[in-house]
Structure 1
Amino acid sequence: INELIQKRQLLEAFASIKLMEDETISEWDAEKYSNNPQEFVRKSKDVDLLYNSITNVIQSIVEGTLEDPALEDTMLTSMVTLIAREEAAHPSTDSAAHPGPDLLGRPRKWREQWRKAINESARKRVLKAPMASREEQTSWLDLHLHFLQESLREDLLKIKLSVKKCYPEEYQVCDTYVEAFHNAIASHLQELSQGPLDFHELYTLLNWVANTYHSELFLGHPDLKPEVKTENLSLLLTSADWDKLKNDYIASAKGKIKSYFGNILRLEVTEKWEKEVHSEEKENLYHASLSFDIQTIIGEHMKLSGAISRGLETKMLDLCMAELLEFIPRFEQEFTAWSTAQDSPSFVPYLVAYINSFQDLVSGLETVFKVNTEELQKILAALTRNFTNIFLTKLRAKAQPLLKKILTKDWILAMERPDWLASAVSQFSEHLQHMRQPLGQELLQEVHKYVVKEYITQVIKPRWKMNRETRQQVSRKMSLEAAIIHNTLIDQGSEADWLVPAIGHIANIIGEKKKDKIKAYVQELCQDYPDIR
């Protein structure tokens, strides 16, 4: 009998074992072993061992079904016949048929063993998929899951095309194998998810579970339909494990997003500030890539997260916004430090470009990502005030030494060019026409107002008595410089035309000797500027 089993002539072996079993039972019934119970025990054990040997062969056949390239149809059909004959020979019963250490005549449950063998086969097939270490291959998990889905898809196709036909319909072979593979994969993924995974590995696992497993790349492949059904499969990961995986992903993303934003700042420092690269200009506005870069980072991570679940997408957006609110003050601090340490001609173009870019960022976040930007706008408003103050401080530092020359002898003797002040101020003001409105106009008018006010302040300071000729010379020079200043700023877009007459009125007063005309000029000044006291 053992030789028959070894040769896998299972039907013949089963017939012989069954005959041996029946004879032993008959002899027991005839009380042949009443004086020699040990002999009954020995024969019972022999029968049991032989049945167990067949059980082992059944397991071997099932596990070899997917291992062996060439499938032996006759072996499977023979095994199915064997199981049917055993079930007929040993119908299920709740009570023991016969006494003994190993009961004779009891069901051997080979169909159940067949299912267990399929589960074990699936487990081994899953673990057989190549898996490199992280040190050997950075994309080890992605490659492993790819190998896994490719090999198991081939297994399922083999089951559909070659294995299924060897079994009766009642075996539901495809469903049994699919469930076995599903459980084996679930166990494997659960183990993988407990290990230390980085940001990309966490996403790889999430994406594979959410988007690859049931897709046409694996279980939903057209070649597997309609036999391979997935509708009734349980979750690959438990809700707790799935939530943990998503939370780990978001926690890991925090450092990644912070790093990406940090890289934006680093590139601004090394590739723009240190090299003083000119600001780009688009549609007459200075342009910086900040808004585009930030929105690209947010958009890409939201897209990836949204492919997993809507909830994960929302969490990712919240995370990106939280990191953005931390990044902007950090950017502001770095730019402020650079502008303080450097007297660079690129400062104003950069400032204008950044303010423009942050305005674009708010607009983009609101329209594209539907974000509530209230908190962001508060931070950007503070940044804009700070940048504006730095701008005005630098303007004053540049203009004050020149303004103090007004009414000096060198100034009166025309040692300075008449456009000296306008030229210095223009280094700042000319860039404001490339700033988004209304802020550009507001700041340009602030510059215009500052220059006129400080000019007049210098003129009306008590100095010395001037003769008529000198007063007229001063008056002409003031009128000329005022015209140059106003024309320059108006050409640059200033709408503060109400400032234009101010210096001219003072010039007229200084250059006039007759009291009645002086009185008329003062009256004109008061009419144009009623708040003068």
Structure 2
Amino acid sequence: MNRNTELDPRSITSEPASLTNSAGEEKMEVDSELSSPTLHSGESGFFERGIKTMLSIRISKRSLNKEKGKEGTGTWKGKRLSLRFSKSYEENKTMICNGTEKISEKIAAEPIQGKPLSVMEINELIQKRQLLEAFASIRYLEDETIAERDAEKYKDNPQEFVRKSRDVDLLYNSITKAIQSIVVGTLEHPTVEDTMLTSLVTLIAREEAAHPNTGNAARPGSDLLGTPRKWREEWREAINESARKRVQRVPMASKEEEHSWLDLHLGFLQKHLSQDLLKIKLSVKKCYPEEYQVCDMYVGAFHKAIASHLQDLSQRPLEFNELYTLLNWVANTYRSELFLGHPDLKPEVKTEDLSLLLTPADWDKLKNDYITSAKGKIKSYFGNILRLEVTERWEKEVHPEVKENLYHSSLSFDIQTIIGEHMKISGAISRSLGTKMLELCLAELHEFIPRFGEEFVAWSTARDSPIFAPYFTAYINSFHDLLSALETVFKVNTEELQKILATLTRNFTNIFLNKLRTKAQPLLKKILTKDWILATERPDSLASAVSQFSKHLQHMREPMGQELLRDVHKYVVREYIMQVIKPRGKMNEETRQRVSEKMNEEARILNNTLIDQGSDSDWLLPAIHHIADIIGEKKKDKIKEHVKELCQDYPDIRKEHVLAVLALRGLGRTRRAAIFRQGCRALESPDSGVGSTLFTEIDAPVIMSCF
């Protein structure tokens, strides 16, 4: 080391005239320096306390005499000297900002020149961020102490060696803290201090050149003189600390203050850190050589800080929407063009080699919590559908819409929307999560449909509402659409759901038919009564009552609408005939004519009404007309022809049915038997009764006759 340094006149005049001053006077001088306002920054507090404690120890008379003997020899305690540095600093600064060459190779060959200053003067340089000058002086002091140690100068005074070694260590630690402060503060200020960062790179390079890493760590209990200070590692740790602080400072409202607190917080995190990364790319990167890989270092640091922050967030008791927000941000926002993948950050910011933000265990836990939370959410959504149906449609008796001649309910659409949206957003996070969400929705649907059916049955049973039949029809249509959509759109096996809907449809249909019977039975029971014969009832009364229900079936999706309309048509004709053939008193000719005419008129109105509404059961049309013709026929010989036609059109008719009709006509037992034998020979055929049946479902009355 070059020790031919020039003296600083200020240093010379500041020395005491005599080195025989008392230790107390020297202590006062040190205390005065330590109390200087320039040394009271928060960052240097720890260092100052260490220096002050160390130097406030009373120096022995013997030590003072030794120092006196060394006056003028250039030792660090005897003089305060100025430093001279090579002109290569500015050259290095330029190369660093361009980021094109390694600093360490050039610095390693440069001698670290300088003359020692006092500990407090070096500390002042550090506080003023004149780190290169401070390092040169510390290095000078370190080399001198090493040389004196190797010369066994401290053999008789080991405490002096310990003190000087500690001075060096504390000063190096102070520079370490300054490095950390500079790096952490890089992103805190609106602009980047290029000169400070380039000086920092030069400082690290000079330290590495001065303390080559030989791989030999300091021995326990030994001094740290000459050992690497690993400032590049400190620089990396400072970047990690900077990232951690930046992430922690992102605004986050409480759940009580803002319902969407997590969504807002992640938005702020995304915005602020994007600005930081852009600043690093445009302003910070150019101050470091390529070997520092500054952008990769900062991206890695932010990645670790965000990962730690998200892990903390995931441990909170999160609700369904919050769990989705967190999962979606990790899966679809973090690496996308909305954040790290933004075009403005490329190509410096790379995401390919980044590790997972959350551990597989934490990720799986979040997904499981999400599905568990979704169960209650889906149940509540389905519950809202039912509540709206009750309050906004049933209770207000709002008629359903007609679309393409079909009664329409939003039930299927609402259910599909709930399933589709939740499956979509979950599948965007991961395919397995989308599958689990679909399975959950189907399980909840299997519970919801019976509950919905129970509510509809209870409501329809409790009141006679004109909108029952329209909504019965609309819901049957909606269930059909739902099954079709689940099979085609969602590719679901609907076997279990079909069973549930079949039971529900059967229950709804039974209620529909029961309500129809309730309306029709009073009118059917009046057939052939005195009031009915005297025409006090309108001939279209029965058709009108039936039509209150049957007219809605034309708005039901095929094939069920047609099938149910056939059942209604058959029910009315069957019940009509059943009332007609009941045993009654004998009618005179005039009454028989009136009965025949009215039966034909009512049958015509009833059949025309049902056919107009879409019934294709035209095979039922002649049944009542045949019986009416038999009752009203004046010529007994022609009765046989009417009976023959009846038996031909309805081969399932039995002998008891024919005899009951003939008894109503007023024929005796012998005559009835003869007509039956002549007109209904087809009933004895083995093929009789094949095809549609009507009379099979009609109980034949017992005819009591004495002649």
Instruction: Please report the TM-score for the alignment, with normalisation by the length of structure 2.
Output: 0.74
For 2:224, give the aligned amino acid: L
| CA distances 1:41-73 after superposition (whole Å, capped 9, x unpaired) | 111111000000000000000000001112211
What is residue 72 of structure 1 aligned with on the other side? 193
Q: Which residue matches 2:436?
A: 315
Residue pairs, 1:293-312, within 5 angstroms = 293-312=414-433
Aligned-partner Cα distance in 1 for 2:386–2:214: 77
Instruction: Show CA shifts across 1:274-317 (max 9, x none).
Output: 01011110111111111111111111111211211111111111
Aligned residue runs from structure 1 range 420-459, under 5 A: 420-459=541-580
Q: CA deviation at 1:512?
A: 2.4
Which residue identity lines up with residue 460 of structure 1 in the other structure?
I
Task: Answer yes or no: is 1:387 the counterpart of 2:522.
Answer: no
Indicate the residue corresponding to 2:641 in structure 1: 520
How many angstroms does 1:93 deviate by? Answer: 2.1
SS in 1 for 2:407: strand
Does residue 49 (structure 1) correspond to residue 164 (structure 2)? The answer is no
CA contact (8 A) 1:97 1:105 kept: no
Q: Kindly provide the CA deviation profile for residues 445-470 of structure 1, in whole angstroms up to 9, marking residues without a partner as x.
A: 10111111111111111121111111
Question: Could you tell me whether the CA contact under 8 Å between 1:502 and 1:525 is conserved in 2?
Answer: yes
1:149 matched to 2:253? The reply is no
1:253 aligns with 2:374: yes
Distance (Å, rounded) in 2 between the aligned partners of 1:443 and 1:328: 22
**For each residue in 1:250-273, what CA deviation from the matched residue of structure 2 results, as whole angstroms up to 9, or x when unmatched?**
111111111111111111100110
Aligned to 1:330: 451
Amino acid at match of 2:487: E
**What's the CA shift string for 1:413-459, capped at 9, x where partnerless?**
11111111111111011111111111111111101111111111111
Is 1:468 aligned with 2:589? yes
Distance 1:262 1:95 in 2: 72
Matched, 1:363 2:480: no
Once the two structures are TM-superposed, the CA of residue 517 in structure 1 deviates from its matched residue by: 2.1
**In structure 1, what is the equivalent of residue 604 of structure 2?**
483
Per the alignment, residue 230 of structure 1 pairs with 351
Secondary structure (helix, strand or coil) at the match of 1:307 reads helix
| SS of match in other structure, 2:186 | helix
Q: Tell me, what secondary structure is at the counterpart of 2:187?
A: helix
State which structure, 1 or 2, has the greater radius of gyration over its C-alpha atoms.
2
Task: Indicate whether 1:120 and 2:250 are aligned.
Answer: no
Range with greater deviation from structure 2 (398-407 or 504-513): 504-513
Q: What does 1:97-176 correspond to in 2, within 5 Å?
A: 101-176=222-297
What secondary structure is seen at the aligned counterpart in 2 of 1:281? strand
1:376 is aligned to 497
2:623 — aligned with what?
502
**One-letter amino acid of the counterpart of residue 130, structure 1:** P
Identity of aligned residues (%): 82
How big is each residue's C-alpha offset from its partner over 1:476-509, in whole Å with a ceiling of 9 and x where there is no partner? 1111111111111111111111111101111111
Which residue of 2 is the match for residue 26 of structure 1?
147
> Structure 1 length as normaliser, TM-score?
0.98
Matched residues in 1 for 2:348 and 2:313: separation? 29
Cα distance, 1:137 vs. partner?
0.4
Counterpart check, 1:289 vs 2:410:
yes
Amino acid at match of 2:493: N
Deviation at 1:524, TM superposition (A): 1.4
Cα distance, 1:519 vs structure 2: 2.3
The one-letter amino acid paired with 1:110 is: W
User: 2:517 matched to 1:396?
Assistant: yes
- 2-side partners of 1:95 and 1:508: how far apart? 124
Aligned match of 2:531: 410
The farther-off stretch of 411-420 and 302-311 is 302-311
2:433 maps to amino acid: L
Q: Structure 1 residues 100, 422: CA separation in 2 closer, same or farther (over 3 Å shift)?
A: closer
Aligned position for 2:159? 38
Tell me the residue number matched to 2:131: 10
* Equivalent of 2:210 in 89, 102, 116: 89
Distance 2:634 2:248 in 1: 106
**RMSD of aligned alpha carbons:** 1.2
Residues 433/68 of structure 1: CA separation in 2 closer, same or farther (3 Å cut):
same
Structure 1 residue 374, shift from structure 2 partner: 1.3
> 1:515: how far off?
3.5
Once residues 98 and 356 of structure 1 are traced to their aligned partners in structure 2, the CA distance between those partners, rounded to angstroms, is 86
Q: Offset at 1:92?
A: 1.0
Secondary structure of 2:565's counterpart equals: helix
Tell me the secondary structure at the aligned position of residue 369 of structure 1: coil
SS of structure 1 residue aligned to 2:212: coil
The counterpart of 1:347, out of the listed 452, 468, 478, is 468
Instruction: String of CA shifts for 1:206-253, please: whole Å, max 9, x gaps.
Output: 111111111111111111111111111000011111111111111111
Residue type of the alignment partner of 1:197 = L
C-alpha distance after superposition, 1:77-101 (max 9, x if no partner): 1111111111111111233679964
Distance 2:140 2:382 in 1: 80
Note closer, same or farther for the CA distance 1:226–1:476 as it changes in structure 2 (3 Å cut).
Answer: same
Q: Aligned equivalents of 2:632 and 2:216: distance in 1?
A: 130
Take 1:41 and 1:95, find their aligned partners in 2: how far apart are those partners?
21
Q: Which moved more, 1:445-454 or 1:508-517?
A: 508-517
Aligned partner of 1:307: which letter?
Answer: A
Matches within 5 A, 1:174-189: 174-189=295-310
CA distance in 1, matches of 2:288, 2:618: 95
Match of 1:270 in 2: 391
Question: 1:521: Cα distance to partner?
Answer: 1.6
The range that moved more, 520-529 or 335-344, is: 520-529
Alignment CA distance shift 1:99-1:476 (3 Å):
closer
Tell me the distance in 1 between the aligned counterparts of 2:247 and 2:206.
33
Q: Distance in 2 between matches of 1:393 and 1:96?
A: 96
Shift of the 97–390 alpha-carbon distance from structure 1 to 2, 3 Å rule, reads closer
Greater helix share, 1 or 2? 1
